[in-house]
Structure 1
């Protein structure tokens, strides 16, 4: 049986150094050449670390894969965002039906590399920067990305066509005869890792991009903050204070639209009489808002379920990456000013 001492003698370093290198102790300061020499000698002699032997035994003993879910949001942020919490619900439901257990629920802000090494695959929820993608994929062979497609040539991903969905909402308002449109939305964020910390960067939001191209709005009618109900309320109050409300608003999330409705109600304004609204996401609460919302329905729960299916397919041997784009549906209710119906 090969011992650490045997490797240390051949590599001309201490046994402690060999142990820390083979167990991937990142706090160890050692030359890259020395690290590679130790690893090469260990492989040459057929040595396996305790962690690798344990993992090998676990793999022989179990029949179900070990799956992790990595969220770009903190637990509180995820709970407060119906869009992302619905994706997780879909993952959990599909895992339950497949009789698979989610071994680890990981948040990027408390990311620990050793957790990934124990998994067979991971489902990533949210937009992550290329640096973070490389960080994750370099430690784990199988990863599926939901609501983001970092590289369709390499990774499985599930998402929607934000541009087409936004155009559908805006065209609906124009087709109803509204001419002056306003926009309320948040800032799209991309997440990355730097020195072990989660960093958020503001990136392009396709909903806003499409709106600016399609509606040619007055600058004062474009209001951007953060994606939350409270911000929707604040931004609509700002729009009211400016006077001369647009004929209608495209609001980039249902949560923001619900906040905006409250601001309008407090000001004694009615929807759709004083201004109409079409929002985005299709969360359950949109149907029960003070004025039921016309909204673009995103099938978030199905996104989660599809993520599980793609990952299992990968674990079963598929090598060609798949990029799945789910459809959206325009659900027409009272807030836009026309009879309720669904438009696909």
Structure 2
């Protein structure tokens, strides 16, 4: 069955645009020609829009053998971000392998989330970081809780997370071995969501704290203050780097981007200011989204196994359903550095 991403590829548009057109978003202004392209592509691929499930229908399907899923992001973000889409695919695959019933209950951003469903499920999986108040509420309503993308240690529930802290060290080791000592960082803070879907606070990203710790351990000076953006997107990166260059500062010899969308912003700025990658600035990132293989030069990035994260979360939920979960478990899912052309060989300063 065709998906939103299939229709987007056929129409030559972003999944976000296609989603808003097909879901008849009245707040989204789009040219008639673009709308026609979307509809024509959907018709060609026999796309069938996924029906919206009402709370009544979900209440009829949910019981003590159900694994319920709550997301901290909206449907549009999932469609436009392969990271979250990969987790969803992994959840579905894991449920099929375990022959478990999986139900996506709601997003924290929904107008009226049905919290009564949480108590009816045998286990609950939350995708994204939540604050202490929401954590305590969920544990009180349903103690069989698994949180995906949670890096904080010592929690009273199961967590599944990426090995970001390990990989930031591996990236820095690799850059150092290639001769880079002047290494900068561009990232953002991690939001914690409350019960209403609002951000209650921000915490430091483990890639950022790992970067600071590694640089200090190796007695390397920061080329300039790490750039911590207001959001994890390309445009925010472009604006921040353009401002830095406008003040006469230069990009460091190597830049670590906390995500591929941030790396795309770095590429845009380098192209606009005639900064050669990697001859003048090397770039390394996280995500390994499809486009990174087609950039010029191709992007060195960390491939995240998001589908495995989803499958592991289902495996943990299955232990709860069997009554075999004896203590909170923390499962770190490994990732892999994909070395491409955005990092070259740079001589160390004492050899220059």
TM category, shorter: 0.7 to 0.9
Scaled by the length of structure 2, the TM-score of the pair is 0.71
Q: Is this contact kept in 2: 1:225–1:235, CA < 8 A?
A: no
For these two proteins, the number of residue pairs brought into alignment is: 278
2:241 counterpart of 1:236: yes
Match of 1:280 in 2: 286
SS of 1:136's equivalent in the other structure is helix
Q: State how far apart, in whole Å, the 1-side matches of 2:236 and 2:256 are.
A: 15
Scaled by the length of structure 1, the TM-score of the pair is 0.73
Quick one: which of 123, 126, 142 aligns to 2:125?
123
Q: Is this contact kept in 2: 1:278–1:336, CA < 8 A?
A: yes
SS of 2:146's equivalent in the other structure is strand
Match of 2:348 in 1: none
SS of 2:125's equivalent in the other structure is strand
- Cα distance change, pair 149–221 in 1 and its aligned pair in 2 (3 A): closer
| Consecutive unaligned residues in structure 1, runs of 5 or more | 1-54, 339-344
Q: State how far apart, in whole Å, the 1-side matches of 2:226 and 2:205 are.
A: 17
2:219 counterpart of 1:217: no
**Residue-by-residue CA offset, 1:15-56 (whole Å, 9 max, x unaligned):** xxxxxxxxxxxxxxxxxxxxxxxxxxxxxxxxxxxxxxxx99
- Cα distance change, pair 100–281 in 1 and its aligned pair in 2 (3 A): same
Q: Is this contact kept in 2: 1:235–1:260, CA < 8 A?
A: no
Q: State how far apart, in whole Å, the 1-side matches of 2:285 and 2:275 are.
A: 18
Q: State how far apart, in whole Å, the 2-side matches of 1:229 and 1:163 are.
A: 23
Match of 1:166 in 2: 168
| Consecutive unaligned residues in structure 2, runs of 5 or more | 1-58, 346-352
Q: State how far apart, in whole Å, the 2-side matches of 1:167 and 1:57 are.
A: 45
Match of 1:333 in 2: 340
- Larger CA Rg, structure 1 vs 2: 1
CA-CA distance at 1:202 after TM superposition: 1.0
Q: Is this contact kept in 1: 2:62–2:117, CA < 8 A?
A: no
- Cα distance change, pair 233–56 in 1 and its aligned pair in 2 (3 A): closer
Q: Show the 5 A alignment for 1:194-213.
A: 196=196, 198-213=198-213
SS of 1:219's equivalent in the other structure is coil
CA RMSD after TM alignment: 2.6
Match of 2:259 in 1: 253
